[in-house]
A and B are shown apart, each in its own frame.
Chain A
Amino acid sequence: MSIDTDSPSLVTPLNALHRELGAKMVPFAGYDMPVQYPLGVLKEHLHTREKAGLFDVSHMGQVILRGGDPVAALEKLVPGDLRALKQGRIRYSFFTNDQAGILDDLMIANMGDHLFLVVNAACKVPDIAHLKAGLPGVEVEYLGDDRGLLALQGPVAATVLARFVPEVATMPFMSLITASLKSIPVTIARSGYTGEDGYEIGIDPDRTEDVARLLLAEPEVAAIGLGARDSLRLEAGLCLYGHDIDTTTTPVEGGLTWAISKRRREEGGYPGDAIVRRQLAEGASRYRVGIQPEGRAPAREHTEIQDAAGQTVGEVTSGGFGPSANAPVAMGYVTAANAAVGTPVSLIVRGKALPAKVAALPFVPQRYYRG
């Protein structure tokens, strides 16, 4: 499994609830996390696409930047156009290094008097150090290892959450509000990482279980583990940091240039900007693509990709079975010459060359709220 095996020392505010629900717990990014519940990965995945799934993502890092000019300061670390980010809106971006490698990907929200960031669990310690070193004059406030973050995802997520907080029904995709859920103060973002409509709810540690129980009591909602979270985001074509993107991949190679605005492409001003500008002008040597195996055998991470002549042209970075696609699905990097959708390739699985094609991402249509 593509899950870290470091020994967990941290728990989320839902640890006892996960155990009560019968979750199978695994170590992930230093936390003791539920990989699946008794429903199982396959049914949890399908439930999320059909109704609504509740995910504990409290292991992710929630950070507030305030004081000074955090927008101008943070633009020196990320290529996202934060100056154009309106109040109450969220943008996906990434920290880059001087080689234009990706240090982490993150969500950035403009909350008026401060910026609110959500970073990956496995990267949060270096991310916070990077922010403190890179943003002189800006206060970097980490909300703590036990701050709650719940994701409610699926086509009826809006119906369910609106029973508690009516105004969420018409929130734009990638917007964020502060609200009161049964008198519990929360932040609610219309965002997620499954390809479905949904929300991410930030909660104080001592109220996180209350919110989780309220949502789980709704008939459409099931608890969903990390296993289904991974298959859902893979079908949705979304990158998993440390697998599909890392310090050796640039935003151009990773197919993330949609997250770099015209102004930021022209002006640069972030680490590695010259390399990104050059790759945008001249093309990169390799690209992240979808891979559709033609048979039923899944191709896992690190599977070698060959061209028709048997030459190695890349490697799978995420691969498995897509329950909604009802087929194996994968993504990986291939040389530019092999990156066009429809290019036939071979996947070397257990020593055998299995036929596959470069495929368009996502594998299932994204169903974000568009008003």
Chain B
Amino acid sequence: MTIRFTEDHEWISLDGDVATVGITTFAQSQLGDVVFVEVPEAGRALVKGKEAAVVESVKAASEVFAPVDGTAIEGNQAVVDDPSLVNSDPQGAGWFFKMTLANPAELDGLMDQAAYDAFVEGQH
């Protein structure tokens, strides 16, 4: 299983042909308490760097961008029903959506764990 990260603090984990996408532990800590989540419906075309989902804290609304091109196959109803999952388990039960990839090679352009950790360190 490959996990990659974007500079916008999304993670994408590829398992076979299906990738799962969410926001990172760092991202949720910056957002604070998540109170609303909107996820893409199955079948929606996703474009790398464009809005795929919405996450809102008490104070602010943020967009979750598609890390790569592809097609949404499932939104996570659990985070819609209980947005606090994004805070409590951002890289597990708090995932946003699953997608198929138009071009799996696009993942190579994203950061691995070590590169992302260094990127976050540089944000402080």
Contact = CB atoms under 8 A, between A and B. Distances in A.
A1 B59 contact: yes
A42 B54 contact: no
A227 B57 CA distance: 11
B58 A45 contact: yes
B35 interface: yes
A42 B38 contact: no
Interface string A289-328: 0000000111010000000000000000000110100001
B56 interface: yes
Contacts of A12: none
Contact of A41 (B36, B38, B54, B57): B57
Given A1-B59, A227-B59, A297-B38, A36 B32 contact: yes
Contacts of A350: 54
A300 B32 CA distance: 17
Interface in A320-364: 320-321, 323, 328, 350
A102 to B, nearest CB: 24
B120 to A, nearest CB: 16
Interface in A1-25: 1-2
Contacts of B60: 1, 300
A35 B59 CA distance: 10
Contacts of A227: 32, 58-59
B33 A320 contact: no
B36 A300 contact: no
Contact of B56 (A36, A45, A231, A298): A298
Contacts of B32: 36, 40-42, 227
B41 to A, nearest CB: 13
B102 interface: no
B30 to A, nearest CB: 9
A200 to B, nearest CB: 23
Nearest to A230: B59
B59 A40 contact: no
Contact of A321 (B35, B38, B54): B35
Contact of A40 (B33, B56, B61): B33
A41 B56 contact: no
Given A36-B32, A42-B35, A227-B32, A321 B61 contact: no
B33 A298 contact: no
A43 interface: yes
Interface string A41-54: 11101000000000
A227 B61 CA distance: 14
A35 B58 CA distance: 12
Q: Determine which residue in B32, B38, B57, B59 has the highest number of CB atoms from chain A within 10 A of its CB, and name it.
A: B59
B58 A42 contact: yes
Given A227-B32, A297-B38, A321-B36, A41 B61 contact: no
Nearest to B56: A298
Interface string A205-238: 0000000000000000000000110110000000
A81 to B, nearest CB: 36
Contacts of B54: 350
Given A41-B33, A43-B33, A227-B32, A320 B38 contact: no
B25 to A, nearest CB: 15
Nearest to A350: B54
Given A1-B59, A298-B61, A350-B54, A42 B33 contact: yes
30 contacts: A1-B59, A1-B60, A2-B59, A36-B32, A40-B33, A41-B33, A41-B57, A41-B59, A42-B32, A42-B33, A42-B58, A43-B33, A45-B58, A227-B32, A231-B59, A297-B38, A297-B56, A298-B36, A300-B60, A300-B61, A320-B58, A320-B59, A321-B36, A321-B56, A321-B57, A321-B58, A323-B35, A323-B58, A328-B36, A350-B54
Question: Nearest 9 CB-CB pairs, A to B?
Answer: A42-B33, A321-B35, A41-B58, A1-B59, A321-B58, A1-B60, A40-B33, A227-B59, A40-B32
Interface of B: 32-33, 35-36, 38, 54, 56-61
